[in-house]
């Protein structure tokens, strides 16, 4: 059953990422592989989701999983309300609808970190990993983390290309994933 879910999940991710997969080095290309790792990690640990709910690793897991919702909500909200996404950026089919911003967002959560959505995926990855500690799980979590870092770096290159010096200046006073740290 897990293999069937993995295949169906992969087909959905391929469909969402179909344009990006034709563009190696785009942020969506790397993001696809991060999503694949997260999907694999989820299926690997799904049967342990509620196992020993008050064990230390489960408490870490739930904390990270709930924390992942915070940058996700604030990040998407800011992009939709202040990023002025429009279909005009249709020239880049690899962008998802909320990524088609025409205004650089530097307020709200974006005042502190450049990639709240990738931060959310990092928290999700490690939250799923902590459901049950395993060698396969740590490999998938590390791979997902590497792909998310590559995603962020590719996204930054794309933003510099689109927003120019404004984005380069923005990079000087914000961190990539964790406010004030990294």
Q: Helix axis angle, 56-67 relative to 69-82, nearest 10°?
A: 10
| pLDDT of the residue at 46 | 95
Measure the CA–CA gap between 33 and 11, rounded to whole angstroms.
13
Give per-residue pLDDT as tens, 44-96. Answer: 999 999 999 999 999 999 999 999 999 999 999 998 888 876 655 556 677 77
| pLDDT of the residue at 101 | 81
Give per-residue pLDDT as tens, 114-160. Answer: 999 999 999 999 999 999 999 999 999 999 999 999 999 999 999 99
20 has pLDDT over 70: yes
């Amino acid at each position: 059953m897990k293999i069937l879910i993995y295949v169906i999940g992969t087909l959905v991710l391929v469909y969402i990422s179909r344009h990006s997969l034709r563009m190696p080095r785009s942020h969506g290309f790397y993001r696809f592989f991060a999503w694949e790792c997260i999907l694999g990690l989820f299926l690997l640990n799904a049967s342990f989701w509620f196992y020993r709910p008050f064990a230390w690793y489960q408490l870490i897991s739930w904390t990270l999983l709930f924390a992942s919702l915070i940058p996700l909500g604030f990040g998407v909200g800011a992009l939709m309300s202040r990023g002025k996404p429009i279909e005009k950026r249709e020239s880049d089919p690899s962008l998802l609808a909320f990524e088609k911003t025409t205004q650089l967002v530097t307020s709200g959560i974006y005042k502190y970190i450049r990639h709240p959505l990738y931060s959310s995926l990092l928290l999700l990855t490690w939250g799923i990993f902590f459901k049950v500690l395993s060698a396969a799980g740590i490999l998938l979590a590390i791979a997902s983390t590497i792909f998310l870092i590559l995603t962020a770096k590719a996204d930054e290159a794309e933003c510099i290309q689109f927003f120019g010096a404004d984005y380069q200046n923005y990079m000087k006073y914000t961190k990539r994933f964790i406010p004030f740290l990294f």
